[in-house]
Amino acid sequence: MATHCSILAWEIPWTEEPGGLYPRDSQASSPTPQFKSINSSFEHSLALPFFGIGIKTDLFQSYKHFAFLNFFFSDMIQERNAIVGERYRWPHTIPYVLDDSLEMNARGVILKAFERYRLKSCIDFKPWSGEPNYISVFKGNGCWSSVGKQLTRMQQLSIGEGCDRIATVQHEFLHALGFWHEQSRSDRDDYVSIIWDRIISGKERNFDSYDDQVIDSMNVPYDYSSVMHYSKTAFGNGSEPTIVTRVPDFMDVIGQRMDFSDSDVLKLNQLYNCSSSLSFMESCDFELENVCGMIQSSADSADWQRLSQVSEGPESDHSNMGQCRGSGFFMHFDSSSVNEGATAILESRIFYPKRGFQCLQFFLYNSGSQDDQLNIYIREYSVAHVSSTLTLVEQIKDIPSGSWQLYHVTLNVTSKFRVVFEGVRGAGASLGGLSIDDINLSETWCPHHVWHIRNFTQLISSPSGSFFSPPFYSSKGYAFQIYLDLYSLPKIGMYFHLISGANDDQLEWPCPWQQVTMTILDQTPDIRQRMSNQRSLTTDPFLTTDNGTYFWDRPSKVGAQVIFPNGTQFYIGRGRGFPNFMTQEMLKSRDFIKGDDVYILLAVEDISHLNEQNYPLPTLDVSDLCTSFRCENDGICILQNGKAECRCRSGDDWWYMGERCEKRGSTRDTIVIATSSTAAVFALMLIITLVSVYYTRKKYRKESSSRMVNTIMENLDQAALF
């Protein structure tokens, strides 16, 4: 576990995902990425150890990096590390188009990567609606991006096969925002050695560094943990490293693809003059005596105290886990000194929401009565600022005792508000009380489920048997389990399995377009500094197995029968996931394991709305009913509840509708004139703008030439989905 006392804890992240950088003639033909041991995409596999089946097919892919430096050299004078000149900066809100070519999973992952920008910087993204410049994200050959805004109206950014990983998307957009690779810095020879004779012949220029007139360090020290750094084996002609760090400890740090590093965030925010972010609201570890502006209520019977230790527990705070002498504080409600029903109320300062949805997360420790509880309220203020209303959002009961526990509470607040923590003394004996620490509040989505794994060190030191999560339900009603594969240490695998559940008769099968996001939480106190490791996969209803069945079909049909420890019989489908989700070394870095606890955050979201094509679901006998039911405007006929129906085509701002897709709708038809006159004027302007959007967009799509100057292509070598 890392500490936060005074020395920075360095993560040991992904070691796979090398890249390269070399100049390229802008007139040359489209890039030709190299694939190492490439396999067909989405090779499905099994991970059902308790069936005695354990077939695995590692799918490693590799891409080249390209950089086309011959474009802006004359301009890259003043601000460096980024391509220079204000005209190559994007506005703070970047217009984008998700091209039809993108895989479904990539679409969802790209939107999640945007959320990380919104949390950690002032960079935001919006669907393109006629702005002069925009980024078209498409599925090209590999992952690549130009550096900086290119003034080409449409600027392409490729998220190709194997690139649908959140940190890879973050990396590509950092290029687009103007950043080069970290090891291209002029001072890189002070920090890394390039071993030229281990580099694939002809690829040496990928390792060029650039004069400090070209690349600026922005007064930030060389960052081994940058998401923009190559890995140690980038462009290697063998297994020996091509980059050797001057400090050996950093060999396995370079090349991480988990999240922005602190320095990545610092540089991005400097370059774009960010002073705040869209979705971050608060992070409080109670290390400062002002307790983040929280106030004690006078309408209660006790106060929360700022402590660093309680005799009955906790022995230390959660932020530092007691590793820092003289610091390490949390807030404590001593329920042993008050009678049943007594309360202690702590209110946050006032927050001003921008997005209307929030996730509150914090760690809670119970050393009091089993019946002690924590209530979370929202105090909302009216526009007039005179009165406030208090709404109970969540009652947290049955809090396990003896360790820090992570809680998430979803809020949906649209006007200014405070968060109110109310400790309530329950019945029964109490020798301690309730403690809270490491509060984070952001306008982001909470995970749907949390898989809390305790005593992790012991578990990983003697991995035995299958290691499945408890069963969970997705919001759509699909039952699932997560499998953590500790058989192949030091690689740790993670897989998603559908299992039979109570709603199966009402659900669509094969399970269509549910995006599963699995995150191992970096428990660093401040959410802005976390580098959690996150991967997503999407259930493709068309995916078939080698015996011809649909991969994501109903588990009772295609799965195997198994038994829960309590004796309940159920069915489990095949698993799909990541054989190298994380290495054991990485897991020991940062704060992935804290207090010997690991948290795996899970979300399963329906992303079928991201599917521009509105693909029909596979059915076996569509043809009979559909032959006499013709859909217009390229709509597709499907069977739904035994009847033929049309699925109509749609785009970001247009769609077809009606029983046969005979009617066309577009945004301009449906803009609702807002209630105020200013809004009405705005809406009118919007209508005028949008009239030409669709046609212009169509025209631009045709222009998607391979005009790639100043473009960087990645050389990924990562464990892909299987």
Site for Zn ion, rule CB under 5 A: 19, 712, 714
Q: How far is the CB of 184 from Zn ion (least distance, A)?
A: 10
Contacts of 688 (CB under 8 A, 6+ apart): none
Question: What does the alpha-carbon distance between residue 244 and residue 349 come to, in Å, rounded to a whole number?
Answer: 48
565 upstream amide cis, omega within 30 of 0:
no
Smallest gap, in angstroms, from Cβ of residue 175 to Zn ion?
6
Asked if the peptide bond before residue 314 counts as cis, ω within 30 degrees of 0, the response is yes
* Overall size of the chain counted in residues: 722
Given the residues 16, 172, 422, 612, select the one marked as catalytic: 172
Asked if 363 contacts 369 with a C-beta cutoff of 8 angstroms, the reply is no
Which of 47/163 has CB closer to Zn ion?
163
Cβ at position 487, least distance to Zn ion in Å: 33
List for the chain the helix, strand, coil content (%; round to 5).
15, 30, 55
Which residue's CB is nearer to Zn ion, number 104 or number 194?
Answer: 194
Q: Please report which helix (H) or strand (E) contains residue 683, including its range.
A: helix 677-691
Nearest to 605 by CA among 409, 700, 430, 474: 474
Q: Which two tokens stand for residue 263?
A: 């320095």
Which tokens is 457 given? 């060190």
The helix (H) or strand (E) run that includes residue 576 is strand 569-583
Q: Which residues are annotated as a binding site?
A: 75, 171, 175, 181
**Cβ 418 vs Cβ 385: under 8 Å:** no
Least distance between Zn ion and beta carbon 65 (Å): 6
Shortest Å distance, C-beta 170 to Zn ion = 11
| Alpha helices by DSSP H, 121-165 | none
User: Is 176 or 572 the residue whose CB approaches Zn ion more closely?
Assistant: 176
Give me 710's structure tokens.
Answer: 């100043």
Looking at beta carbons only, is 378 or 712 nearer to Zn ion? Answer: 712
State in angstroms the smallest separation of the CB of 33 from Zn ion.
13
580 versus 711: smaller Cβ distance to Zn ion: 711
Pick 206 or 481: Cβ nearer Zn ion: 206
**Residue 434: strand pairing partners:** 333, 366
Q: 545: burial class by Cβ within 10 Å (0-12, 13-18, 19+)?
A: middle
Closest to Zn ion by CB, 144 vs 483, is 144
172 noted as active-site residue: yes
Show the tokens assigned to 301.
């019977």
- End-to-end Cα distance, the chain: 30
Nearer to Zn ion, 540 or 714 (CB): 714
Question: What SS3 state is found at 287?
Answer: coil
The region, left, alpha or beta by phi > 0 then psi within -120 to 50, assigned to residue 322 is left
Q: Which amino acid is residue 344, in one-letter code?
A: A
* Rounded least distance, CB 249 to Zn ion, Å: 24
- Residue 712 Cβ, how far from Zn ion at the closest point, in Å? 5
How far is 145 from 67, CA to CA, in rounded Å?
9
Find tokens 């290029």 and name the residue.
Answer: 175
Q: What angle do CA 137, 607, 540 make, to 5 degrees?
A: 90
Could you list the residues known to form a binding site for Zn(2+), using ranges: 75, 171, 175, 181
- Provide the annotated active-site residues: 172
